[in-house]
Amino acid sequence: LSAADVSVEEILHKTILVGDSGVGKTSLLVQFDTGTFHPSSFAATVGIGFTNKVLVVDGAKVKLQIWDTAGQERFRSVTHAYYRDAHALFLLYDVTNRKSFDNTRAWLAEINEYAHRDVIIMLLGNKCDSEDRVVNREDGERLGREYKVNFMETSAKTGLNVDVAFTEVARALRDKR
């Protein structure tokens, strides 16, 4: 294999989804991967799994290996082991669940402890389609500024900003190389 054969798309960027149980990590990944949403199927993720996706960013391919983690407390020690190898990390909260927003500070502390110093972090306020919203967009923006991380609101249900969020992270990963 010559150097010329190793194109950009062969570089696998490890990306992980973290955040409280029920915030919509699995739904977000399913929406991104298949463009579908299955509302009736809340089955908390057990363990960890990944999906490979190739994105085209400004005409160049970027390959992501996206790990969907379990948000439930009892699986946290498993999740920690995956932080170390992550190049990028999506931290989700649920805009209809104040607690999940408040808990992002604890997640950020964990990220700080276990993840690589240079990890790219994207904070996502998910379920922005919902009429039961209790967390304002401004709250998310403020938190993003405070921790110097990118922020977006998404809907795994309608697909709003889902491709945009992944593309944004893929672009940041590509630019880092």
Which residue ranges make up the site for ligand GTP (CB under 6 A)? 21-27, 39, 42, 44-45, 70-72, 126-127, 129-130, 155-157
DSSP 73: G
- Of residues 89, 79, 124, the one with CA closest to residue 17: 89
For the CB of residue 39, give the shortest distance to ligand GTP in the complex, in Å. 5
Name the burial class of residue 146, with classes exposed (0-12), middle (13-18) and buried (19+) by CB atoms within 10 angstroms of its CB.
exposed
Q: Given the complex with ligand GTP, which of 49 and 175 has the nearer CB atom?
A: 49
Strand stretches in the chain, DSSP E = 12-18, 49-57, 60-68, 88-94, 120-126, 150-153
Give whichever of 29 and 55 is closer to ligand GTP, judged by the CB atom. Answer: 29
Quick one: 45 or 150, whose CB is closer to ligand GTP?
Answer: 45
Least distance to ligand GTP from the beta carbon of 110, Å? 15
Residue from 26, 96, 126, 161 touching Mg ion (CB under 5 A): that is 26
> How far is the first Cα of the chain from the last one, in angstroms, to the nearest whole number?
21
Q: Please select the residue that binds Mg ion; options are 11, 33, 45, 163, rule is CB under 5 A.
A: 45
Output 62 or 122, the one with its CB closest to Mg ion. 122
Give the dihedral of Cα atoms 163, 168, 170, 174; nearest 10 deg.
Answer: 150
Instruction: Give the footprint of Mg ion on residues 83-122 (CB under 5 A).
Output: none
